[in-house]
Chains A and B, each alone.
Chain A
């Protein structure tokens, strides 16, 4: 009950832009899908990849923490994004951040591990549709061709003038996740909507 009341009160950073994102999606006639994936659980994990904690945390999440730079690993509804040699972002369903945090802490035991809830630090934009790559290429200098940035790839890069975490979704047609700092989300949304004008 309390949770329902809480969810009802929670307002995601791009709640105010939902109708504009939907309108741009409609106007593109299927070329582009833009939407906020609001309130996802996001937990930042720092640990020594060579310590026993790496395996233990992976086991607790049902996967292996990705060690290859700029990759992601999925297991069920949990996605783990490589952010650095000792840093990962664990993304899960809305409302699961506390459970994730506890699961990771419990698995790490006495090892030196830092677990930080950063769910509100960034929001997630879905950029999909057949022209998603072109849309992003207006402001992202990375090569997003499926050969170079297929499923399982991620990057920390600039989209327009905002720092983002970019994740290629499992199916190439499913598009991208763009994780952006909440304070930049309004700017980035304005930029994406303006870029989408070309694809009407």
Chain B
């Protein structure tokens, strides 16, 4: 059916051009049956599934992919991997993403990208994609699925060990994909790994960070390559948090460039990358080429490209005696110029000619008209992760680069990442490292099948970093940062020697590519300039992430409502349904106030306050911290924690208490209920519940282990409803017919077991408003039933739900402080005017000694007092400072204190504030001044208890 449908589809009006004039008719690992359309710099092209953006551009004859950041010079695709310094592009669609290396962007249908002048643009709209994270644990993590990594994983597979093999490419093979060798072995090994249920192979996954205790982070690109077809429910990228008992790093090597004149023109490319484009993508990146090398590795590239029809004008080798490979090239009819170097290039949008001279001479002797210059200045092991793990690197004089030396964690390095650039050695190292890793953990490793590798001729490389050229032609070291040999010479000329200094002075190695192709070259150039030994210079520290990782991936699903836990009470839905606005108290959502239609906050709060003072109102107080303190020594324990006496409290009664730190400063307050001779229920402030429990455990475990006391959090075991107001007794009485609610039967600061609305409850006569009030505690499973019963029973009295703002106003009118709002860790109970809560009888308690310190006895300590603005409508913002005079003196202005709480009071018919004022209690009645806006407004200092100072309302 599908086939018939395909056939019936009309031909497009304009036949599509055959993709890519630079594409070989056969070969490569692209899927020619899946052509893809993409757009680059506004022009539409075609490529295939399996292409990268870079390979598809090259196939279409496009090599220039941007201009350089500082000098605006045209730059071309330089490499075939994540090390790319030039072709860093902006993805425009389906979703904007800045600065991605084109050789690392898998092609998909509908991709729209553009070249960049060095810097990208962040998206302005929110990213609709999902991102997530996954924790993983394994006995062995192998990083890199090239020959060494595959051999390591194969040796560890089927042993029972849990193995993760992570590789940043869509398919395994690593460098073999670029050379086209032993791909059958790759496929067989891959299939074998897939059969072991304990082996997990992560494709498109870049391990980017190596932390302590073998904790590694990786990012998996899961749906990017699907473009618009990406399923919406699948995370686009996933951060893997991997804990590995052992790690084998088989991260390969990057080829490095050479610093010669005008070495940045589009058409200059790393030799191995050109070979990769040929074998992996069936792309011939040029027609005529010069190959410039200091080592053997460029020869196979030259021979393969020649076989694919590229005219190799010459292989220019700095070595005077390039050895066997040169003979092979000559036998293939390729001219080899031994002891020569490229000294300059020509061309603008694209390379047109290359000048060659005997190495060490600047005058050109040969000029070749070519459109491709392949460069190999040697190889750098990708030692980033090893370095991040704490491993040290050493300079290998033969290889002319830095290789892993000693590790600090359970890690081994294998293959070219370890400086083993020879395939047979890399395979053997990988297999041995994989076997060692699992055998160290008691598993029996298998001997993996490895491909038979024929021995290759070898002539040592020559250490070359710079080539003298025509004067004035820039010799680039870091292409992404436009840093030249001359820039580095200026740095060393200024006296800088450390690579960390030259890096920062010149910015060499600070681009998005982190100097992958430039780092060692920059080191070599610096070493050549003042004549320092390159091995002594070392390398800058490698830090995570290895490639740039998006913030979206790191944030994962911790976005929006999931960014931080929202704690709710059992009554939360009721509050939402009744229009409450919420205040964040720690992670709790507490109802702030319940505005009715047309009400603003001020009028809603005044209405709620009036209801509580004049009739009846109720509030969800479930968030208060609750700790069950049990044991024969519970009373002794609480006596030591609180400033006042708790052990004398009678069962059935409640006492308010204050806790201080050793410095005598108020730390928390709340009520203590005595449930039984050996059992108390302690309440804490909402925000301090966990801190107080930790504080109790700390004292019990470290100082008083002899006390027989246990503390258990029961914060969420109880829902608490505060029922407040002169009519609260009627409402409670109507719902609790079995409870004697009369004042003498149920006095203030007593608690009773009762059945309220048919629900088992513990009712406490506690007031945080000065009014007759109850706190009704029930199981949160029955909290809604209780709340709705109260709402119904209170309806005749106009029962009003109120929130935290009204609670604050009511308590402030009575001068009750809120710990953390009216205190800040520098305030004693005495400062708050609560000397009565500090026991004179107890032998000791936490903080007692501090009350004998000179500082806590100063008469000019800040006291909590009330402030009444002389204009009763004037509202003092919290934080407002107080001064003595109506005219501000010259700075520094002596400050007397500040406003800690400020409200409009329905009961007082005016505004008022609480403040901490120096010697405040002695200033009651005094006039002070508060700068509000541009004015100094007069305020009168008053006792903090502004409402019902005689306490007449407490008993209803």
Let me know if A143 and B235 touch, CB within 8 A: no
A186–B564 Cα gap in the complex (Å)? 12
B92 at the interface (CB under 8 A from A): no
- A133, chain B: closest CB distance, angstroms: 10
Let me know if A118 and B136 touch, CB within 8 A: no
A186–B639 Cα gap in the complex (Å)? 38
Let me know if A161 and B712 touch, CB within 8 A: no
* Neighbouring B residues of A115 by C-beta, 8 Å: 630
B243 at the interface (CB under 8 A from A): yes
* Neighbouring B residues of A161 by C-beta, 8 Å: 558, 564-565
* Neighbouring B residues of A6 by C-beta, 8 Å: 782
A142–B135 Cα gap in the complex (Å)? 8
Let me know if A187 and B134 touch, CB within 8 A: no
> Residue-by-residue, is A173-200 near B (CB-CB < 8 Å gives 1, otherwise 0)?
0000000011110111011001101101
Let me know if B714 and A162 touch, CB within 8 A: no
> Residue-by-residue, is B628-651 near A (CB-CB < 8 Å gives 1, otherwise 0)?
101110000000000000000000
Q: Given A116-B630, A120-B780 in contact, is the A194-B557 Cβ separation under 8 Å?
A: yes
* Neighbouring A residues of B628 by C-beta, 8 Å: 114, 116
Stretch at the interface among A11-19, A53-61, A69-77: A11-19
Q: Given A112-B632, A116-B628, A145-B137 in contact, is the A9-B785 Cβ separation under 8 Å?
A: yes
Within 8 A of A (CB), among B698-724: 708, 710, 712-718
* Neighbouring B residues of A181 by C-beta, 8 Å: 567, 716
* Neighbouring A residues of B715 by C-beta, 8 Å: 121, 183
Q: Given A114-B710, A182-B716 in contact, is the A9-B782 Cβ separation under 8 Å?
A: yes
- B614, chain A: closest CB distance, angstroms: 32
> Residue-by-residue, is B829-856 near A (CB-CB < 8 Å gives 1, otherwise 0)?
0000000000000000000000000000
* Neighbouring B residues of A121 by C-beta, 8 Å: 713-717
| Contact pick for A183, options B557, B573, B631, B716, CB 8 Å | B716
Let me know if B233 and A116 touch, CB within 8 A: no
Considering only CB atoms, which chain B residue lies closest to A5 in the complex? B758
Let me know if A114 and B569 touch, CB within 8 A: no
Let me know if B137 and A120 touch, CB within 8 A: no
Let me know if A195 and B717 touch, CB within 8 A: no
* Neighbouring B residues of A138 by C-beta, 8 Å: 132-135, 557
A197–B562 Cα gap in the complex (Å)? 14
* Neighbouring A residues of B557 by C-beta, 8 Å: 138, 191, 194-195
- A98, chain B: closest CB distance, angstroms: 11
B779 at the interface (CB under 8 A from A): yes
A172–B566 Cα gap in the complex (Å)? 32
> Residue-by-residue, is A89-114 near B (CB-CB < 8 Å gives 1, otherwise 0)?
00000000000000000000000101
Let me know if A10 and B779 touch, CB within 8 A: yes
- A182, chain B: closest CB distance, angstroms: 4
B696 at the interface (CB under 8 A from A): no
Q: Given A112-B632, A120-B779 in contact, is the A140-B135 Cβ separation under 8 Å?
A: yes
* Neighbouring B residues of A186 by C-beta, 8 Å: 566, 568, 572
Let me know if B712 and A12 touch, CB within 8 A: no
* Neighbouring B residues of A170 by C-beta, 8 Å: none
* Neighbouring A residues of B135 by C-beta, 8 Å: 137-138, 140-142
A120–B567 Cα gap in the complex (Å)? 15
Let me know if B565 and A187 touch, CB within 8 A: yes
A27–B678 Cα gap in the complex (Å)? 52
| Contact pick for A190, options B561, B567, B569, CB 8 Å | B561
Q: Given A122-B716, A141-B241, A143-B243 in contact, is the A183-B233 Cβ separation under 8 Å?
A: no
Let me know if A114 and B631 touch, CB within 8 A: yes
A107–B588 Cα gap in the complex (Å)? 39
B130 at the interface (CB under 8 A from A): yes
Let me know if B234 and A198 touch, CB within 8 A: yes
Let me know if A11 and B781 touch, CB within 8 A: yes
* Neighbouring A residues of B713 by C-beta, 8 Å: 121
* Neighbouring B residues of A200 by C-beta, 8 Å: 233
Let me know if A46 and B716 touch, CB within 8 A: no
A122–B781 Cα gap in the complex (Å)? 11
| Contact pick for B712, options A114, A122, A184, A191, CB 8 Å | A114
> Residue-by-residue, is B95-130 near A (CB-CB < 8 Å gives 1, otherwise 0)?
000000000000000000000000000000000001
A134–B715 Cα gap in the complex (Å)? 32
How many residue pairs between the two chains, A and B, have CB atoms under 8 Å in the bound complex?
Answer: 120
* Neighbouring B residues of A86 by C-beta, 8 Å: 710
* Neighbouring B residues of A114 by C-beta, 8 Å: 628, 630-631, 710, 712
| Contact pick for B562, options A11, A137, A190, CB 8 Å | A190
- A166, chain B: closest CB distance, angstroms: 13
For B241, B759, B781, the residue with the greatest tally of chain A CB atoms inside 10 Å of its CB is B781
A139–B162 Cα gap in the complex (Å)? 21
Q: Given A13-B780, A141-B135, A198-B132 in contact, is the A187-B712 Cβ separation under 8 Å?
A: no
Let me know if B130 and A197 touch, CB within 8 A: yes
A39–B781 Cα gap in the complex (Å)? 8
* Neighbouring B residues of A148 by C-beta, 8 Å: 137
* Neighbouring A residues of B558 by C-beta, 8 Å: 161
A145–B573 Cα gap in the complex (Å)? 38
Let me know if B712 and A183 touch, CB within 8 A: no
* Neighbouring B residues of A120 by C-beta, 8 Å: 716-718, 779-781
A160 at the interface (CB under 8 A from B): yes
Let me know if B588 and A183 touch, CB within 8 A: yes
* Neighbouring B residues of A134 by C-beta, 8 Å: 134
Q: Given A11-B784, A190-B561 in contact, is the A16-B714 Cβ separation under 8 Å?
A: no
Let me know if B714 and A194 touch, CB within 8 A: no
Considering only CB atoms, which chain B residue lies closest to A42 in the complex? B717
Within 8 A of B (CB), among A1-30: 5-6, 9-13, 16
Let me know if A10 and B565 touch, CB within 8 A: no
B308 at the interface (CB under 8 A from A): no
A31–B241 Cα gap in the complex (Å)? 23
* Neighbouring B residues of A182 by C-beta, 8 Å: 570, 716, 780
A44–B234 Cα gap in the complex (Å)? 41
* Neighbouring B residues of A10 by C-beta, 8 Å: 779, 781-782
Considering only CB atoms, which chain B residue lies closest to A181 in the complex? B716
Let me know if A197 and B233 touch, CB within 8 A: yes
Let me know if B714 and A116 touch, CB within 8 A: yes
A142–B137 Cα gap in the complex (Å)? 8
Considering only CB atoms, which chain A residue lies closest to B709 in the complex? A114
- B409, chain A: closest CB distance, angstroms: 18
A161–B559 Cα gap in the complex (Å)? 12
* Neighbouring A residues of B562 by C-beta, 8 Å: 160, 187, 190-191, 194
Let me know if A118 and B714 touch, CB within 8 A: yes
A154 at the interface (CB under 8 A from B): no
A119 at the interface (CB under 8 A from B): yes
- A9, chain B: closest CB distance, angstroms: 5
| Contact pick for A12, options B132, B133, B716, B781, CB 8 Å | B781
A119–B780 Cα gap in the complex (Å)? 10
A148–B885 Cα gap in the complex (Å)? 71
Considering only CB atoms, which chain A residue lies closest to B569 in the complex? A183
Let me know if A116 and B712 touch, CB within 8 A: yes
* Neighbouring B residues of A16 by C-beta, 8 Å: 573
Let me know if A187 and B717 touch, CB within 8 A: no
* Neighbouring A residues of B758 by C-beta, 8 Å: 5, 9
- Residues of A at the B interface (CB closer than 8 Å) are 5-6, 9-13, 16, 39, 44, 46, 86, 112, 114-122, 134, 137-143, 145, 148, 160-162, 181-184, 186-188, 190-191, 194-195, 197-198, 200
**Contacts A182-B716, A183-B568 known; 16 new A-B pairs at CB < 8 A:** A44-B712, A46-B712, A112-B631, A112-B632, A118-B712, A118-B717, A120-B718, A120-B781, A141-B135, A141-B243, A160-B562, A160-B565, A183-B715, A184-B565, A191-B557, A191-B562
- Residues of B at the A interface (CB closer than 8 Å) are 130, 132-137, 162, 233-235, 241, 243, 557-558, 561-562, 564-570, 572-573, 588, 623, 628, 630-632, 708, 710, 712-718, 758-759, 779-782, 784-785
In the assembled complex, 10 residue pairs joining A and B whose CB atoms fall closer than 8 Å, in A order, are A10-B779, A11-B785, A46-B710, A117-B717, A119-B717, A143-B137, A145-B137, A145-B162, A186-B572, A187-B567
